[in-house]
Structure 1
Amino acid sequence: MDFGLDAEQAAVVDTVRRFVTRELYPYEDEVERVGEVRPELVAQIRSRALAAGLYAANMPAELGGGGLDPVTMTLVERELGAASYALQFLVARPSNILQACAGDQRDRYLLPAITGERHDCLAMTEPGAGSDVRSMSTRAVRDGSDYVIDGTKHFISNADKSDFVILFAATGVESTSHGQKKLISAFLVDLDTPGLTVTRGPSSVSHRGYHHSELAFEGCRVPAAALLGEEHHGFDLMGQWLGASRLTVAANSVGRARRVLELATAWAAQRVQFGEPIGRFQGVSFPLADMATELEAAELLTLQAAWKLGEGRMTDRDAAMAKLFAAEALGRITDRAVQIYGGMGLMDELPIERFWRDARVERIWDGTSEIQRHIISRSMLRPLGA
């Protein structure tokens, strides 16, 4: 494997880095202060991302997307990850699940998501079903030519800035050697559908301005044509999305960790105590060395998983290892950065405390660190019959 950038990849990285610096960084303090991204700023970032050719970079070129290969897309995610999540998410990468759209769904959901006319969110998590997805209670019952949906979803990211939801709901049960399991199906549901209520969820300490919502379905009726893919096979679609999303979390974590390390290194070189730059003291220089080493390891794990994805060989274990190590490395790197900055690291005058807060969620969403460890260890033990 050679992860040296070719000319095209170098140009893509340069384009994204300049976009992040010019179009996203200047608004981070505002978003932190007010906890919102102004509607006009949302429109501005989206339109400029479209103009720069950065919109839907993860989608196939034949559908109008950027058509980037997995390694190049991972480099894009790394660069975007350095910026405030509420801002970088507006440079949309529609869910790859939408590629399962068929017939009229392509014109109503897939293609408008790629052109920036419509925006998606994904609803999987429930108050009683987080890591244990199969225990979801939201259900969709067939009624003639429709499905009737009842249940509640929460922690639904970006629903307040979306037009439709990719919903996962139970549509039946099957008997297995481990007992009964719920059968899951996926649906495309417009957020203004009668019977669906969207409310803002509680505030989070991580990623201010990037909100999550609660979706309540009460007798919400959708046509059978809203079914995405095959009935009872939504879990398969979910698995395809989770691998890609975990790789995205890993790449974003690497990008943010790099920015934190650059700031901490500059601080250590400039801050003087006892007549010396604090970086000359081993208590500061050795943590910097550890941070740099962990960052390199996280990036290599992430790029390796992306390379395997491009080769059609990425496993759940590969994505889990990248997500686990990169997310936890980000946590350690931001924590050490706070220590290097000392008291100033906790002040909102500087961005370090924000990076520290933001890093915490990466070990939870898109599969907790514990779930990633379960995936990895299961891949080791199952071949031995354990």
Structure 2
Amino acid sequence: MDFALSEDESLIYKTATHFCEKELMPHEELLERTGEFPIELELEIRRKGIAVGLHACNMPESVGGGGLNCVSLTLVEKGLSRASTALAEAVRRPFNILAACEGEQVAHFLEPVMSGEKRDCIAMSEPDVGSDLRSMKTRAVRDGADWIINGTKHFISSAQRSQFVILFAVTGEDETPRGVKKRISCFLIDLDTPGLVVAKGYQQLGHRGHSNSILHFDNCRIGGWQLVGEEGQGFALVSKWLGEGRLSVAAVCQARAERAFEYASEYAARRKQFGQPIGNFQGIGFPLADMATDIRIGDLLLMNTAWKVDQKSPTVAQDCAMAKVWCSEMLGRVADQAIQTCGGMGLMTDLPLERIYRDARAERIWEGTSEIQRRIISRELMREQGI
């Protein structure tokens, strides 16, 4: 069993890491100080990302993307995500749902995203619904050749910086042996469409420069051509995206944990007390050993899961859930201990540790909470037992 990266994979990771260190990290202080991410800076980063081949590297070659497999995409995610969230996301990796575009959708939505002219966002979460996507209330009703949409979505990342939204809405119900089951469909909607209001979202913990918005649909009329795939097939697209989204979060957490550990271990080697580096004391050295072990486990789990995605393993949903729950919770432990290792300096903004610590908290919630991940894992375990 070969755990080494290939020459191409090593080059991909080095390219993403170098881009992060040169083009992203220098701007972290600006976002932390102002809480804002200038649109001009985002566009500049996107342009540079396109130049080095990082933009849309997740999309199939057939639509002009990089066509990278999951292992390579995970390495790109890790390399870029050493920087803060808003900056890493400026190097656009469009939602792969857009690869399903057909007809008029290609020229209006897909091609401008691939060229970097437009940005997409995705809308699933709703107030009072949470993780139960089947309970969403936003509805799309046919009206001749059009659809009329009503409802509210929230926690929509970067909607105020996007040109269109990938919306999931209820389009009907079906009777099943287990009761009524809602049909969920996917639509592509320009954010300046009449009847759609993009409102400012909530003030959030951490992730400065990264915004969330609330979308209000009030008799919003769209054309029939804006339905992605067939009516009622949206949930299949949601399920596919969620798995990869969870693995993406795991990669982000792994990258941040590695960066926090690097600062902590360097500080432990440089800082001296009682005539020797503090890393020589068990009170510091043993926690560093635990951090290193946790990080190693996370990396192995992350890359093994990415490999399983490429192999089309039947356990992908469970594997992605395991990677997400481990890496997100591991990041919290590592960030906390890194600050403890650095003592008072760990709390200061001179180091990125306090930011990594703040930002880490969200990772256990978005893209499915830790509780949801454990539900997925336990459910699959019981299925293996025939339950």
* TM-score normalised by the chain length of structure 2: 0.97
Equivalent residues in 2 for 1:298-309, closer than 5 Å: 298-309=298-309
- The answer on 1:356 being equivalent to 2:357 is yes
- Asked whether the equivalents of residues 184 and 232 of structure 1 are also in contact (C-alpha less than 8 Å), the reply is yes
Q: CA deviation at 1:344?
A: 2.3
Q: CA deviation at 1:57?
A: 0.8
Q: Distance in 2 between matches of 1:9 and 1:337?
A: 29
Deviation per CA, 1:223-248: give whole Å up to 9, x if none: 11111111011111000100111111
Three-state SS of the structure 2 residue aligned to 1:300 is helix
Deviation per CA, 1:156-214: give whole Å up to 9, x if none: 00111111000001111122333222211110000000000001211211211010000
Tell me which amino acid in the other structure corresponds to 1:279.
Answer: G
Q: CA deviation at 1:12?
A: 1.3
- The answer on 1:69 being equivalent to 2:64 is no
Q: CA deviation at 1:369?
A: 0.6
5+ long unaligned stretches in structure 2? none
Equivalent residues in 2 for 1:321-336, closer than 5 Å: 321-336=322-337
Q: CA deviation at 1:276?
A: 2.3
**2:114 alignment counterpart:** 114
Three-state SS of the structure 2 residue aligned to 1:130 is coil
Deviation per CA, 1:20-60: give whole Å up to 9, x if none: 11100100010011111112111110111111111111111
Q: CA deviation at 1:129?
A: 1.4
**2:316 alignment counterpart:** 315
Identical amino acids, percent of aligned pairs: 53
Three-state SS of the structure 2 residue aligned to 1:156 is strand
**1:203 alignment counterpart:** 203
Q: Distance in 1 between matches of 2:78 and 2:39?
A: 26
- Asked whether the equivalents of residues 14 and 79 of structure 2 are also in contact (C-alpha less than 8 Å), the reply is no
Q: Distance in 2 between matches of 1:256 and 1:364?
A: 16
**1:186 alignment counterpart:** 186
Three-state SS of the structure 2 residue aligned to 1:3 is coil
- Asked whether the equivalents of residues 305 and 319 of structure 2 are also in contact (C-alpha less than 8 Å), the reply is yes
Q: CA deviation at 1:124?
A: 0.2
Equivalent residues in 2 for 1:103-182, closer than 5 Å: 103-182=103-182
Three-state SS of the structure 1 residue aligned to 2:307 is helix
- Asked whether the equivalents of residues 185 and 232 of structure 2 are also in contact (C-alpha less than 8 Å), the reply is yes
Three-state SS of the structure 2 residue aligned to 1:89 is helix
Tell me which amino acid in the other structure corresponds to 2:162.
Answer: S
- The answer on 1:374 being equivalent to 2:341 is no
- The answer on 1:93 being equivalent to 2:93 is yes
Q: Distance in 1 between matches of 2:173 and 2:325?
A: 32
- Asked whether the equivalents of residues 57 and 68 of structure 2 are also in contact (C-alpha less than 8 Å), the reply is yes
Tell me which amino acid in the other structure corresponds to 1:359.
Answer: A
Deviation per CA, 1:239-267: give whole Å up to 9, x if none: 01001111111111111111111011011
Deviation per CA, 1:73-108: give whole Å up to 9, x if none: 111111111111110101000001111111111221
User: How many residues are treated as equivalent by the alignment?
Assistant: 386
- Asked whether the equivalents of residues 169 and 185 of structure 1 are also in contact (C-alpha less than 8 Å), the reply is yes
More displaced 10-residue stretch of structure 1: 270-279 or 220-229:
270-279
Q: CA deviation at 1:341?
A: 1.5
Q: Distance in 1 between matches of 2:62 and 2:282?
A: 54
- Asked whether the equivalents of residues 268 and 284 of structure 2 are also in contact (C-alpha less than 8 Å), the reply is yes
* TM-score normalised by the chain length of structure 1: 0.98
Q: Distance in 1 between matches of 2:54 and 2:316?
A: 27
**1:81 alignment counterpart:** 81
- Asked whether the equivalents of residues 128 and 135 of structure 1 are also in contact (C-alpha less than 8 Å), the reply is no
Q: Distance in 2 between matches of 1:99 and 1:319?
A: 22
Q: Distance in 1 between matches of 2:344 and 2:126?
A: 38
Deviation per CA, 1:112-153: give whole Å up to 9, x if none: 211211110000000111111111111111111111101100
- Asked whether the equivalents of residues 9 and 72 of structure 2 are also in contact (C-alpha less than 8 Å), the reply is yes
Q: CA deviation at 1:15?
A: 1.2
- Asked whether the equivalents of residues 3 and 303 of structure 1 are also in contact (C-alpha less than 8 Å), the reply is no
- Asked whether the equivalents of residues 125 and 156 of structure 1 are also in contact (C-alpha less than 8 Å), the reply is yes
**1:47 alignment counterpart:** 47
Runs ≥4 in structure 1, deviation > 3 angstroms?
none
Tell me which amino acid in the other structure corresponds to 1:189.
Answer: I
Q: Distance in 2 between matches of 1:163 and 1:170?
A: 23
Q: Distance in 2 between matches of 1:178 and 1:267?
A: 58
Q: Distance in 1 between matches of 2:232 and 2:67?
A: 30
